[in-house]
Amino acid sequence: MRLLIVGRLSGELVTASKIALNRGASVTHADGIDQGLAALRAKGGDLVMVDVGLDIRRLVQALSDERIRTPVVACGIASDARAAVAAIQAGAKEYIPLPPDPEMIAAVLEAVAADTRSFVWRDPSMERVVRLAEQVARSEASVLITGESGTGKEVLARHVHAKSNRAGRPFVSVNCAAIPEALLESELFGHEKGAFTGAIARRIGRFEEANGGTLLLDEISEMDVRLQSKLLRALQERVIDRVGGAAPVKVDIRVLATSNRNLAEEVKKGTFREDLFYRLNVVHLRLPPLRERLADILELAAHFSRKYAELNGLPLRPLAREAQALVARNPWRGNVRELENTIHRAVLLAQGPEIGPEAILSPEGEALAAPPASGPVERAASAAEAATRGLVGRTVADVERDLILDTLDHCLGNRTHAARILGISIRTLRNKLNEYVEAGVQVAEPGGVRAVAAYG
Ligand SMILES: Nc1ncnc2c1ncn2[C@@H]1O[C@H](COP(=O)(O)OP(=O)(O)OP(=O)(O)O)[C@@H](O)[C@H]1O
Ligand SMILES: [Mg+2]
């Protein structure tokens, strides 16, 4: 955990920093916003604690402009409720009252690190994957992790890092699909001041940020071929070139990569470099879809019901037997992510001593589709009929738009997952969504669905 404290170190911030150090964080200090930004550009960080008296809005805005995703928490005097509200409105994730309470600091550090720890499995098919992952974790080998969207590729990557010799060093993840093509190079390799319009200061890239640790290249199949060659050089020669930089920079990193496409197929199609594929694919961990991990479904459901009861301060309710049966036979096309969202809703909706089947609902509040009684032929025929009945008389563009927006709602705004279901690349999806937004059509934000009015 790399913590950056921004603000004049008064006695109370010194105490906070000591508490964090005792909890195993590595702490850096910056006097003001600009120094803080410089430190983040130069070294990266996992959490920023900033004095509430400073311009938090400017800090949060600058981080967002520069695509630095480190969360910011504010700290200030306990009794100053107005400052606390203002800090949250300015974009801070939390307000830590001073003098610092060791428990509070520990809880915040914990929350930031929390994602990395909960990795649950029980099914024999997962057992095999996890055993292989742990065997290779201590080596320096590149690992390619594949699996459908939502199967837990990132969770597994963090597990590999946690079991590796680099566990105490940074784990840095770059989502190659989420960053616009033009910016990905500087995101990965960094840039010098003035390298392009908007390069207001030198910024180190994710490779340098991960130095000594592990770099996860998430959704690597979305990287364009030109950048793939630069990546290959970085992996082979262990040096990178900052954009606009004069001299190569040495880096020491372990690389993990994920993809929800079949990379071997992409190589055949010519969209992924074969030499890079072999570089990354030293070990291949293939995550089975959740529907093939029956024992995991119930184990994960129990885990999520505990997690969300705790998070929401609700009593812990176990899943009733009928609810378990319902969950176990659902196809979970969105895998663990869909199960997690479903159980989260169920925890919020359930009443009584257990989570009953009536609380296990789709995002629209409907019962999960029961397996149809008729045979596969009738099912396919009636589905096709239902699907085309509403389509005649409409343009392909209209139908495509509805399909895309409905799918995005279904995935709670998750672009990656929606693109996967639609069978298009995330870039194509993003371009379409931009078109719709420009045309004034409402589009689900990540984590949400469109307002009901949009369906009219
Ligand atoms: N084995 C697991 N134990 C606990 N939580 C899990 C597990 N697998 C997945 N999750 C949870 O499910 C969600 C999706 O996991 P993750 O982001 O790792 O999937 P992914 O395969 O990377 O998905 P995508 O392809 O969409 O990026 C996360 O919220 C994660 O915490
Ligand atoms: Mg992922």
Chain segment 300-328, per-residue pLDDT in tens? 999 999 988 887 888 999 999 999 999 99
Ligand 1 contacts CB of residue 154 (under 6 A): yes
User: Would you say residue 377 lies in a domain?
Assistant: no
- For residue 340 the two structure tokens come to 């997690």
pLDDT band at 440 (very low <50, low <70, confident <90, very high): confident
CA gap 13, 3 in Å, rounded: 13
Ligand 1 contacts CB of residue 151 (under 6 A): yes
Please indicate, yes or no, whether residues 300 and 352 belong to a single structural domain of this protein: yes
Instruction: Pick the more confident residue, 64 or 336.
Output: 336
Instruction: Pick the more confident residue, 291 or 372.
Output: 291
**Residue 407 to residues 256, 329, 366, 400, 435, Cα–Cα distance (Å):** 29, 22, 16, 11, 17
pLDDT above 90 coverage of the chain, percent: 52
CA gap 95, 75 in Å, rounded: 6
* Model confidence pLDDT, tens digit, residues 199-209: 888 888 999 99
Mutate which of 119, 122, 154 for ligand 1? The one with the most ligand atoms within 8 Å of its CB, which is 154
Final residue belonging to a domain, choices 113, 142, 162: 113
* Rounded average pLDDT over 166-171: 89
Of the listed ligands, the closest to the CA of 153 is: 1
User: Would you say residue 388 lies in a domain?
Assistant: no
CA gap 143, 154 in Å, rounded: 12
Ligand 1 contacts CB of residue 286 (under 6 A): no
Is-contact 4 36, C-beta < 8 A? yes
Prediction pTM value = 0.69
Q: How far is CA 349 from the centre of its chain?
A: 26
> How far, in Å, from the CA of 31 to the mean position of ligand 2?
36
Nearest alpha carbon to residue 205 among 224, 184, 221: 184
Final residue belonging to a domain, choices 301, 331, 359: 359
Of the listed ligands, the closest to the CA of 418 is: 1
Is-contact 327 301, C-beta < 8 A? yes
For residue 172, the 8-state DSSP code is E
Strands (E), 297-400: none
Please indicate, yes or no, whether residues 95 and 152 belong to a single structural domain of this protein: no
Ligand 1 contacts CB of residue 189 (under 6 A): no
pLDDT band at 13 (very low <50, low <70, confident <90, very high): confident
Please indicate, yes or no, whether residues 177 and 258 belong to a single structural domain of this protein: yes
Is-contact 446 415, C-beta < 8 A? yes
- The angle, 0 to 180 degrees and rounded to 10, between the axes of the packed helices 415-422 and 396-410 is 130
Q: What angle do CA 360, 365, 370 make, to 5 degrees?
A: 55
Please indicate, yes or no, whether residues 213 and 165 belong to a single structural domain of this protein: yes
User: Would you say residue 237 lies in a domain?
Assistant: yes
- For residue 348 the two structure tokens come to 């919020």
Residue 395 has pLDDT above 50, yes or no: yes
Measured from the Cα of 175, ligand 1's closest atom is 27
Please indicate, yes or no, whether residues 149 and 87 belong to a single structural domain of this protein: no
Please indicate, yes or no, whether residues 321 and 177 belong to a single structural domain of this protein: no
Q: Domain range for residue 179? A: 120-286
